[in-house]
Amino acid sequence: MGTQDGNGQREDNDLPFNGPTEWYPYHCLACDCKMWVEDIIVDAFPPDGPGKCPIVCCPECGRDFVMDIEKETLMSETDPN
Ligand SMILES: [Zn+2]
């Protein structure tokens, strides 16, 4: 895949801000809500969920919203949701 650093873990401050960012496939454990979550959000919380990604709140019901580890992340310059 076309990632620049290969592991997605490094923080490169010299990356141009207008380049593509990484989006993580998230889904709710309580309802059917699915949404892409941008890496800047994922990096802002402790990595205590599946795929070393944080558990955040579902935008629909407020329950646990976790990364879908069976899917691949997406590089996109725009909001894929
Ligand atoms: Zn939900």
Question: Quick count: other Cβ atoms within 10 Å of Cβ 14?
Answer: 4
Q: Which residue has the tokens 């998230």?
A: 26
Question: pLDDT of 19-51, one tens digit each?
Answer: 899 999 999 999 999 999 999 999 999 999 999
Lowest mean pLDDT among 2-6, 17-21, 24-28, 67-71: 2-6
Name the pTM for this structure.
Answer: 0.76
pLDDT of res. 27: 98
Ligand 1 (ion): residues with CB under 5 Å are 28, 30-31, 33, 58, 60-61
What is the rounded CA–CA span in Å between residue 38 and residue 31?
A: 20
Query: Separation of 7 CA from ligand 1 center, angstroms?
Result: 29
Q: Do residues 35 and 59 lie in contact, with contact meaning Cβ atoms separated by under 8 Å?
A: yes
Instruction: Go through the chain and tell me how many residues it has.
Output: 81
User: CB-based contacts of 14: which residues, under 8 Å, 6+ apart?
Assistant: none
Strands 64-67 and 34-38: unpaired
